[in-house]
Amino acid sequence: MYKELVNYLIDLVKINSIFGNEKEIADYTQNILTNKLKNVIRFNNSLIGYNDLDNTKKTIGLIGHLDTVPVENELTGKIIDGKLYGLGASDMKGGLAVMLYLIDYFMSRESRFNLIYVFYEKEEGPFNDNGLQPLLEKYGDILKNIDLAFVLEPTNNEVQVGAVGTINAEIIFRGKKAHSARAWQGENAIHKSWKLIKRVNDFGIKEYPFSFNIGNRKINITFYELMNITVAKSEGAKNVIPDYFYLNINYRFSPSKTLEEAKEDIINTVKGEDAEIKFVDLAPPGKIPNKNEILLDFISKFDLPVKPKQAWTDVARLSLFNIDAVNFGPGDPSQAHQYNEYIPVENLYKSFEYLKEFLKF
Distances (CA, A) of 155 to 19, 148, 236, 335: 21, 17, 45, 11
Q: Is-contact 5 91, C-beta < 8 A?
A: no
State the catalytic residues.
67, 123
> Is residue 354 within 8 Å of 302, Cβ to Cβ?
yes
Structural contact between residues 96 and 64, judged by C-beta atoms closer than 8 angstroms: yes
CB 154 within 8 A of CB 341: no
Q: Quick check: helix, strand or coil at residue 176? A: strand
d(CA 33, CA 36): 5
Question: Which pTM was predicted?
Answer: 0.89
Q: Is 82 left (phi over 0), alpha (psi -120 to 50) or beta?
A: left
pLDDT of residue 271: 96
Q: Is 60 exposed, middle or buried (0-12, 13-18, 19+ CB in 10 A)?
A: buried
246 close to 171: Cβ distance less than 8 angstroms: yes
pLDDT for 346:
98
pLDDT at 239: 97
Is it true that the peptide bond before 107 is cis, omega within 30 degrees of 0?
Answer: no
Pair 277, 170: CB distance under 8 Å: yes
Question: Structural domains in the chain?
Answer: 3-163+286-359 (3.40.630.10), 165-283 (3.30.70.360)
Helix axes 23-36, 94-105, angle to 10 degrees: 20
Q: For the beta carbon of residue 237, count every other beta carbon within 10 angstroms.
A: 9
For position 215, what pLDDT does the model report?
79
DSSP letter, residue 249: E
10-residue stretch averages of pLDDT, the chain, 361 residues long? 95 98 98 97 98 97 98 97 98 98 96 98 92 97 97 97 96 97 98 98 96 88 98 95 98 95 98 96 92 94 94 93 97 96 98 98 91
95: three-class secondary structure by DSSP? helix
